[in-house]
Amino acid sequence: MGRKYTGDGFESEVLERHEVKEPSRYKVLLHNDDYTTMDFVIEILTKVFHKSEAEATRIMLAVHHEGVGVCGLYTAEVAETKVDMVHRLARGAGFPLKCTMEKE
């Protein structure tokens, strides 16, 4: 933990400082397909990513027009969980919605 110095007869401990590194962040992305409905994408964005109706609509339109939309920025574990949740919900509803994550 630290080193002890006793130069003046008193024992004191010097604490070493360690830099705390922020965890890496990952973008969670939804990808466009020809089968998943826009309503379902909005539902995913509101339920899984807690987006407002307006924000969910904006992201859904980005997915539709640009082929991909960013749902949010998360730590690796949270991003993995959200990707898994999207896939489970989409498969359960019969949609092939693709969701991925990539390092920021």
Q: What pLDDT, on the 0 to 100 scale, is given for residue 17?
A: 78
The helix or strand, by DSSP H or E, that contains position 14, with its residue range, turns out to be strand 12-15
Q: What pLDDT, on the 0 to 100 scale, is given for residue 19?
A: 86
pTM of the model: 0.80
Cβ(74)–Cβ(25) under 8 Å? yes
Decide: helix, strand or coil at residue 63.
Answer: helix
Q: What pLDDT, on the 0 to 100 scale, is given for residue 7?
A: 61
Class of domain 22-103: alpha beta
Give pLDDT < 70 ranges for the chain.
1-14
Distance of CA 79 to the CA centre of its chain: 4
Q: What pLDDT, on the 0 to 100 scale, is given for residue 16?
A: 77
